Amino acid sequence: MITTTSLSILAAVVALAALVSLGVLALRLRRSSDALSSNITIWKNRLESDLQQAREERNRLLDALSDAFLLIDSESIIRFANAAAHQLFNCRDLINRPAREIFLDPRLSEALLHCLETGDPVQSRVLLAQQSSPRGDLETRGINTWMIDAARIPNSEGSLPTTRVIIRDMTAEHQTEQIRKDFVANASHELRTPMAIINGYLENLLDDNMLEDPEMTRRFLSIMRKHADRISRIVEDMLVISRLESGEANSLKVEPFRFRSCINDILERLESVIRNQNASVTITMSDEALTLHGDRFYWTQVLFNLVENALKQNPHPGLKVEIGGENAADCHRIWITDNGIGIPSADLPHIFRRFYRVEKHHSQREIKGTGLGLSIVKRAIEAHGGTITVTSVPGRETKFLITLPKDAQITETHPAATP
Ligand code: ADP
C-alpha cells in the first residue's frame, strides 16, 4: 500500500529531477547562445576585413589608372580621388570638397557640372589655348587638351546617385592630330603650285595653238618637266617620311656597314655639283673603319641631304664642306659643316619641321628643295636611336652634329616628336 509519505517522497524526487533537467537545459541554452554571439562577432569581423580588403583592392586598381578618376556623390561632393587625380590637382585635398571648387578653369568644370545637375552623361574635349592646366597653374607647353568624361553609376534601387569622372590629358593626341592636319594642308599647298603651273602651260600649248611653234613648245615642255620633277620629289619625300613614321622603322634593315662607304656613295652622286661649284669637301675621320649598325640606305640619305643642302644653299665658288666622324667611348659622332650663308638663329628651332624653309634663302624660288630634307634626316636618325643638333654662325660655320649611342635602340619614330 502506498502511503502518503511515499507519495510525497516520489513527488519530491520527480520535482527534483525536473529541476535538474531544467537547469541542464538552461546551461545548454546559455552555452549555445554564448557560442552564437562569439560566432557572430567572428563573422562580423571577417566581413569587415573582407570589405576593407575589397575597398583597398578597388583603390589599388583605380590608383593604377593613368587617368584621373573621381567619385562624386549626389551633393556634388568628392568622395574618392585616385592617385592620378591627386597628382593632377597637385595633391591638394580633394576628398569631401565640392566638385566645382577643384577646377580653376570654368571651361573644365562646365561639362562636369552639367552631368551632376542633369544626370546626362558627358564626354567633352576642352582645348585650353591659354597656358593653364586643370589645376590652374602655369604650364610652359602652350595649348593643352583635356577630355572630361562623366556619367552616373547605376545605383541600387532607392540609393542616391554617384557620378564617376575621368579626366584625361589628350595634349599629345591633339598635337599629333594637328601635325597630321598641317602635313596634309602643307602637302596639298606644295603640290598645288607646280600643278597649277603645269596646267597653265598646258592650256597655253593647247588652247592658244602654241604647238605650231616648236621652239616655244620645247621651252614650255621643259618648264613643265621641271615642275613635274618637283611634284615627284615631294611625293617621294613624303613617302619616305610616312614609311619612317608608320613604324616601318621596325623593319629597318639593320646591319653593320662602314660609314666611309656612304661617304663615297654620296660624293660620287654629287661629284658634278661639287666640281661645277668649285667647292671642296674634306673628310675628317678619326677611324677610317668607323662602322655603324643600322640601315645603310637611310644613313646614305641622311648624309646626302645634309651635304646637298650645304651645296644647294651656297652655289658661289669656294664653299668648304667637311664630313667628319669619330668613335667616342659610348657613342659615334658624325658631323657635316660648311662655311656658307648659314641659318639665321630665329629659324634654327624650326629647321627640322616639315616643309620649313628659310624665307630669305634663294632656294625657295628656284624650286630646288621640298622643305622635307631635314625632316627626313631627323626622323631617320631618331629611328636609329640617335639625335641631331644644329648650330650656325652665318658666313663662318654651320654644323649638323649627329650623336648615335652605341647601345642605341632602333625604334619607331613618333610624328609628335617633330612637327
Ligand atoms: P630643302 O628641301 O628646302 O632643302 P630642308 O628640310 O633640307 O629643305 O632644309 C630646310 C631649310 O633649311 C632649307 O630650305 C634652307 O633654308 C635651310 N638649310 C638647311 N641646310 C642648310 C645649310 N647647310 N646652310 C644654309 N641653310 C640651310
pLDDT digits (tens, 9 = 90+) for 27-68: 888 888 888 888 899 999 999 999 999 989 988 998 999 999
Residue 226 near residue 367, CB atoms below 8 Å: yes
In the prediction, which pLDDT does 239 show?
87
Cβ-based neighbours of 84, under 8 Å, separated by 6 or more: 63, 65, 66, 67, 68, 69
What is the average pLDDT score of the chain?
85
Worst-scoring range by mean pLDDT, 75-79, 140-144, 202-206, 387-391?
Answer: 140-144
Cβ count within 10 A of residue 165:
23
* Mean pLDDT of all residues in 181-204: 88
- pLDDT-based confidence at 156, cuts 50/70/90? low
DSSP string, 54-114: HHHHHHHHHHT-SSEEEEE-TTSBEEEE-HHHHHHTTT---TTSBHHHH-SSHHHHHHHHH
Beta-strand ranges (E) seen in 154-236 are 162-169
Residue 334 near residue 404, CB atoms below 8 Å: yes
Q: Ligand 1: does its nearest atom lie under 6 Å from the Cβ of 323?
A: no
Q: Ligand 1: does its nearest atom lie under 6 Å from the Cβ of 384?
A: no
- pLDDT-based confidence at 240, cuts 50/70/90? confident
DSSP string, 112-145: HHHHHHH---EEEEEEE-SSB-TT--B-SS--EE
Using left for φ > 0, alpha for ψ between -120 and 50, and beta otherwise, residue 418 falls in beta
Query: Tell me, what DSSP letter sits at residue 157?
Result: T
* Mean pLDDT of all residues in 77-88: 91
Most confidently predicted of 137-151, 159-173, 353-367: 159-173
* Mean pLDDT of all residues in 328-349: 93
In the prediction, which pLDDT does 416 show?
42
Query: The cell 603645269 sits on which residue?
Result: 198
21 pLDDT higher than 70 = yes
Q: Ligand 1: does its nearest atom lie under 6 Å from the Cβ of 338?
A: yes
* Mean pLDDT of all residues in 184-203: 89
- Cell triple for 29: 541554452
Q: Which amino acid is at 321?
A: V
Worst-scoring range by mean pLDDT, 35-39, 70-74, 179-183, 377-381?
Answer: 179-183
SS3 318: coil
In the prediction, which pLDDT does 229 show?
92
- pLDDT-based confidence at 267, cuts 50/70/90? very high
Residue 414 CA to residue 383 CA, distance in Å, equals 9
Q: Count how many Cα atoms sit within 13 Å of the Cα of residue 235 in the half-sphere of its side chain.
A: 10
Residue 99 CA to residue 89 CA, distance in Å, equals 12
Worst-scoring range by mean pLDDT, 202-211, 233-242, 382-391?
Answer: 202-211
Calculate helix-pair angle for 373-383, 214-245, nearest 10 degrees. 30
363 pLDDT higher than 70 = no
276 pLDDT higher than 90 = yes
- pLDDT-based confidence at 409, cuts 50/70/90? low
* Beta pairing, strands 255-258 & 280-285: unpaired
Instruction: Looking at the CA of residue 356, tell me the nearest atom of ligand 1.
Output: 10
Q: Ligand 1: does its nearest atom lie under 6 Å from the Cβ of 295?
A: no
Pick 180 or 265 by higher pLDDT: 265
Q: What values do phi and psi take at 324, rounded to 5?
A: -125, 155
Instruction: Looking at the CA of residue 310, tell me the nearest atom of ligand 1.
Output: 23
Residue 174 CA to residue 170 CA, distance in Å, equals 6
Q: Ligand 1: does its nearest atom lie under 6 Å from the Cβ of 371?
A: yes
Q: Ligand 1: does its nearest atom lie under 6 Å from the Cβ of 179?
A: no
Q: Ligand 1: does its nearest atom lie under 6 Å from the Cβ of 370?
A: yes
- Give the max Cα distance, the chain: 163
In the prediction, which pLDDT does 72 show?
92
In the prediction, which pLDDT does 50 show?
93
Q: What percent of the chain is predicted at pLDDT more than 90?
A: 45
In the prediction, which pLDDT does 415 show?
44
Residue 72 CA to residue 98 CA, distance in Å, equals 9
Counting ligand 1 atoms within 8 A of each CB, the residue from 186, 190, 348, 374 with the most, and so the one to mutate, is 374
Residue 143 near residue 167, CB atoms below 8 Å: no
DSSP string, 243-308: HHHTTGGGG---EEEEHHHHHHHHHHHTHHHHHHHT-EEEEEES-TT-EEEE-HHHHHHHHHHHHH
Q: Ligand 1: does its nearest atom lie under 6 Å from the Cβ of 294?
A: no
Pick 287 or 251 by higher pLDDT: 287
Worst-scoring range by mean pLDDT, 65-69, 95-99, 204-208, 360-364?
Answer: 360-364
Q: Ligand 1: does its nearest atom lie under 6 Å from the Cβ of 373?
A: yes
Q: Ligand 1: does its nearest atom lie under 6 Å from the Cβ of 301?
A: no
Calculate helix-pair angle for 373-383, 296-313, nearest 10 degrees. 150
In the prediction, which pLDDT does 250 show?
63
Residue 402 near residue 333, CB atoms below 8 Å: yes
Q: What is the pTM of this model?
A: 0.65
* Mean pLDDT of all residues in 113-129: 87
* Beta pairing, strands 122-128 & 78-81: unpaired
Pick 221 or 135 by higher pLDDT: 221
**pLDDT tens digits for range 339-361:** 999 999 999 999 998 888 887 55
Dihedral sign (CA 383, 389, 392, 396)? negative
- pLDDT-based confidence at 183, cuts 50/70/90? confident
Worst-scoring range by mean pLDDT, 70-79, 164-173, 179-188, 293-302?
Answer: 179-188
362 pLDDT higher than 60 = no
**Ligand 1 atom 2 nearest Cα:** 369
127 pLDDT higher than 60 = yes
Instruction: Looking at the CA of residue 336, tell me the nearest atom of ligand 1.
Output: 23
* Burial of 45 from C-beta contacts in 10 A (0-12 / 13-18 / 19+): exposed
Counting ligand 1 atoms within 8 A of each CB, the residue from 233, 312, 313, 375 with the most, and so the one to mutate, is 313
- Cell triple for 285: 675621320
Calculate helix-pair angle for 296-313, 259-269, nearest 10 degrees. 40
